[in-house]
Amino acid sequence: MTQPESVNAAAGPGRELPDVSALVVGVLGGTGDQGRGLAYRLAQAGQQVVIGSRTAERAVAAAEEIGLGVRGADNAACARESDVVIVAVPWDGHAETLTALRAELAGKIVVDCVNPLGFDKQGAYALQVPEGSAAQQAAALLPDSRVTAAFHHLSAVLLQDASLERIDTDVLVLGEERAATDVVQALAERIPGMRGVFAGRLRNAHQVEGLVANLISVNRRYKAHAGLRITDI
Amino acid sequence: MTQPESVNAAAGPGRELPDVSALVVGVLGGTGDQGRGLAYRLAQAGQQVVIGSRTAERAVAAAEEIGLGVRGADNAACARESDVVIVAVPWDGHAETLTALRAELAGKIVVDCVNPLGFDKQGAYALQVPEGSAAQQAAALLPDSRVTAAFHHLSAVLLQDASLERIDTDVLVLGEERAATDVVQALAERIPGMRGVFAGRLRNAHQVEGLVANLISVNRRYKAHAGLRITDI
């Protein structure tokens, strides 16, 4: 049975993940809370990070605020200069942003972390997506990219809280290609406290994205910044 | 930030859950692996348990195998005799079973733990459900019951393994009515190692049910019996 110790182990059993320390990571939507938080954590872990935004000026401003060698560029330049590109744009701009970057993202590992959610008086709820999920939409729009999905359940508040040295949580990583999901798992594990856990193919991304609505309910009820751990691995 | 200790705390912060020790718990589909495992754990925790099945004979046989005072009855009698009724039938028989028990389940707390999944060569995937989720289907078919959803992510193997004294995992509980979800959380916490965590309304049940497909992927990759913990509560 799972003991607390194993929950906090740096890596799961028998896994050898690739060395990703030399990869340049782009963060599209890096001026938003989630993107900014991920850029900060990855840069702090020693990763080269490029923040992308619609205008280079906003991206440069956000990058300078973070420091740690983070650069800023417009989305197209961010995609071109990066080996791995995290998509952290609002769901509203998801399809449009990716459609415009098809050429720049060709051949790259794309990490979709977008959660299609609606909000009303009763809180958050998962939206229906024609393609099934944000990640499947990305895969449909980017046939020449290696599309994965990850980083959905991280609290933007915790990511940006510089007083926290660790964020003890698991990052569920989905995708069709083992080499690509291994890279994303390794990237997650650069951040102290995080484990990258393979959690299925993109056809099972909808519920992973939608679960953020449940975590928002948890946060409301318990005044928390909830995350996930997978037990028994 | 979450420490390993808090992950294993018996109850979340500031929560006062009702005493459910005197409630009779029915388990429809209690002859299946999941139902049998839940019946065993709840009976072991001191709860009065009635297993339901289509035929009383099968239910009685399963109950005698478990021992611990568990009784067996046909589904209708099981529903009538219980205060809280766990629905652990196969998805295929879900609507039919509940439709037939509408009168017997009136006024009761119903706990749906059914996961509508499909399987093919690539593994498991979440099925589309016209009502949105199994739990919402239950709520639509049982307008006079207090429908909740919980117990989706428990490994039937671990539940039935008598050598395990604890199962360290969280039970996500969904529902519209606080008094009902509190009872279900309290019921989950009768089982050593488990926490009952409120995780939203029934409209957000689909992704909780579907996440079992991801846990099956985790189990395949890591040779595990994966479960969930919510961090920071």
Contact B229/A233, CB-based, under 8 Å? no
The predicted pLDDT at position A87 comes to 98
The average confidence (pLDDT) of chain B is: 94
Task: Give me the residue label for tokens 């018996």.
Answer: B10
Of B125, B207, B217, the CB nearest to A198: B217
Q: pLDDT tens for residues B147-172?
A: 999 999 999 999 999 999 999 999 99
- Rounded to whole angstroms, the Cα distance separating A140 from A183 reads 21
DSSP code per residue over A114-135? ---EEEETTEEEEPP-TTSSHH
CA torsion sign, A29 to A31 to A34 to A36? positive
Cα gap A208→A152, rounded to integer Å: 7
Chain A, residues 197-216, CB within 8 A of chain B, namely 197-201, 203-204, 206-211, 213-216
Alpha helices in chain A (DSSP H): 4-7, 33-44, 56-66, 75-81, 94-100, 134-141, 156-160, 178-188, 205-222
CB contact under 8 A, B7 and A7: yes
Hey, are the CB atoms on B229 and A5 less than 8 Å from each other?
no
Q: From the centroid of its chain, how far is CA B122?
A: 26
pTM (two decimals): 0.93
Q: What is the pLDDT of residue A15?
A: 67
Under 8 Å CB-to-CB from B233, ≥6 apart: which residues? A218, A222, A224, A226, B12, B13, B197
ipTM confidence score: 0.93
Handedness of CA A122, B111, B195, B124 (dihedral sign): negative
In 10 A of CB A90, how many CB atoms? 13
What pLDDT is attached to residue B15?
67
Indicate the pairing of strand B146-149 with strand B169-175. antiparallel
- pLDDT bracket for residue B8 (50, 70, 90): very low
Residue bearing tokens 């393994």: B161
| pLDDT confidence band for B73 (50 / 70 / 90) | very high
Residue B218 at interface with chain A, using a CB cutoff of 8 Å: yes
- B5 pLDDT band, cuts 50/70/90, is very low
Name the residue among A32, A20, A221, A200 with its Cα closest to residue A115: A32
Distance from CA of B142 to the nearest CA of A (A): 22
**Nearest neighbour of A125 by CB, restricted to B3, B204, B231:** B204
Burial label, B19 (beta-carbon count in 10 A; 0-12, 13-18, 19+): exposed
Q: Record the tokens describing residue A227, joined without a space.
A: 């995350």
Q: Is the pLDDT of residue A22 over 60?
A: yes
Q: What distance lies between CA A161 and its chain's CA centroid?
A: 17
Residues contacting residue B65 through CB under 8 Å, at least 6 positions apart:
none
Tens of pLDDT along B187-224? 999 999 999 999 999 999 999 999 999 999 999 999 99
pLDDT tens digits for A168-190?
999 999 999 999 999 999 999 99
Is 60 exceeded by the pLDDT of residue B9? Answer: no
Q: How far apart are CA A185 and CA A164, in angstroms?
A: 21
Q: Which two tokens stand for residue A5?
A: 């110790």
Q: What is the mean pLDDT of residues A144-165?
A: 96
Q: Residue A176 CB: number of other CB atoms within 10 A?
A: 14
b/e per residue, B68-77, with b = 16+ CB within 10 A?
eebbbbbbbb
Residue B153 phi/psi, 5-degree rounding, is: -105, 20
| Amino acid making up residue B32 | G
Q: Do B230 and A217 touch (CB under 8 A)?
A: no
Question: Is A179 touching B (CB cutoff 8 A)?
Answer: no
Residue B155 at interface with chain A, using a CB cutoff of 8 Å: yes
pLDDT value of residue A1:
35
Q: What is the CA radius of gyration of chain A?
A: 16
- Contact check, Cβ <8 Å, A217/B211: no
Residue-wise over A2-26: b if at least 16 C-beta within 10 A, else e?
beeeebbeeebeebebeebeebebb
The helix/strand/coil state of B112 is: strand
Enter the DSSP assignment of B128: P
Instruction: Find out whether B166 and A1 touch, Cβ atoms under 8 Å.
Output: yes
pLDDT for A155 beyond 90: yes
